[in-house]
Structure 1
Amino acid sequence: MRTTGANSASGRPHPAVLTDFDDTAAVQNVAELLLKRFGAPDWMDVRQRFPGDGHIDLKEYQEITFRAIQADRATMQAYVKEHANLRPYFRELWGFCQTNDFPMAVVSQGLDFYIQALLDKEGLGRVPIYAVNPKVPKR
């Protein structure tokens, strides 16, 4: 996928649209939504070690907190589909990008499985996702 360069029809630069996910494309922080519902009781303690003191980075925080979840991915994906929402006009932005041949993708430190679930719910499963694929059991 070419993300920059001249548009052959107009000679103008060809933009790409990249968006974050939690609290950006999604109305809420979907990771926190899942942790509040399915997380271990101490997930907030782990969060206190991130990011300020430098003991753990975001990827490690996610792996620790999501590894402790007993729900399987299918259960979490169903919960996302029921309780999370994309921002108004996200679908229209995707349509605009498709119509105008602008590449668009979600680029996020969020976890791929819950991003995909919400995009699928909205009929936007074709939006490319570049996100964390955690080392967490799929159960």
Structure 2
Amino acid sequence: MNKPIIFCDFDGTITNTDNIIAIMRKFAPLGWEEIKDQVLSQAIPIQEGVSKMFSLLPSAMREEITEYILNHAEIRNGFKEFVAFTKEQEIPLYIVSGGIDFFVEPLLEGLVPKEQIYCNKSDFSNERITILWPHTCDEECNNECGCCKPTLIRKLANQDQFKIVIGDSITDLEAAKLADKVIARDFLVEKCNQLDIEHSPFHSFFDVIDILKKEVVPSA
């Protein structure tokens, strides 16, 4: 097997819940759920949906929102051990997230170096929160992904590397189509089943370590 490389989602994968949804439930006015449903059904692009949802929130709430997420988000069991395992096995690990810098980076501080984290950025200088998109789609993708995971895979992985994608949602589907190995939970499992994408389900990152030991680094 070629040398593995891992691309791991953040919201709902590393964390037990989706932080954008948690923020909207707590702080957004009516109307955000309709936008979320349009994203999940692929009626509107992810970039458009996330922009619309955050534009419902005043920038003045920055501290309150950040504090809420940092106090309520839970890192999934086994993630710390999983990161240690990838280091020990010298497997490159990248966090590719449709989440936003103001909560992704603080939650991963001390666990994953900043240069291995790719996520969307935020601008609180206007009346409403604006989301910035430093990792948009390349010429091979026209899905308006926001943080385009397939583009990042093409940018960061060599063709001969064994690409592992870990995720849970619609935002991970296009990346899963490019992977040599998909490790999935929740909505991504449903989509993989629908589209006949081979995958291994997981609940905790201890499961992920077991899958990697069995299938990717059997000598570990």
What TM-score comes out, normalization by structure 1 length?
Answer: 0.75
CA distance, structure 1, for counterparts of residue 125 and residue 83 of structure 2 = 30
Q: Which has the higher contact order (CA 8 A, sep 6+)?
A: 1
2:101 — aligned with what?
112
User: What's the Cα RMSD here?
Assistant: 2.3
1:69 — aligned with what?
57
1:40-61 residue CA offsets vs partner (Å, 9 max, x unmatched): 222113224334362x211111
Q: Gapped runs of 5+ residues in structure 2?
A: 127-220
Displacement of 1:82: 0.5
Aligned residue pairs: how many?
Answer: 124
* Identical aligned residues as a percent: 25
The one-letter amino acid of 2:33's match is: M
Structure 1 moving runs of 4+ over 6 Å: none
1:40-95 residue CA offsets vs partner (Å, 9 max, x unmatched): 222113224334362x2111111111121125434322211110111111011111
CA distance, structure 2, for counterparts of residue 138 and residue 125 of structure 1 = 28
Aligned pairs for 1:89-108 (under 5 A) are: 89-108=78-97
Indicate how the Cα distance of structure 1 residues 45 and 13 shifts in structure 2: closer, same or farther if over 3 A, else same.
closer
Contact 1:17/1:103, CA 8 A, preserved across alignment: yes
> Which has more strand, going by share of residues?
2
Q: 2:46 aligned to 38, 58, 69, which one?
A: 58
Contact 2:83/2:112, CA 8 A, preserved across alignment: no
Indicate how the Cα distance of structure 1 residues 138 and 90 shifts in structure 2: closer, same or farther if over 3 A, else same.
farther
1:74-124 residue CA offsets vs partner (Å, 9 max, x unmatched): 43222111101111110111111122222111112222322112212xx32
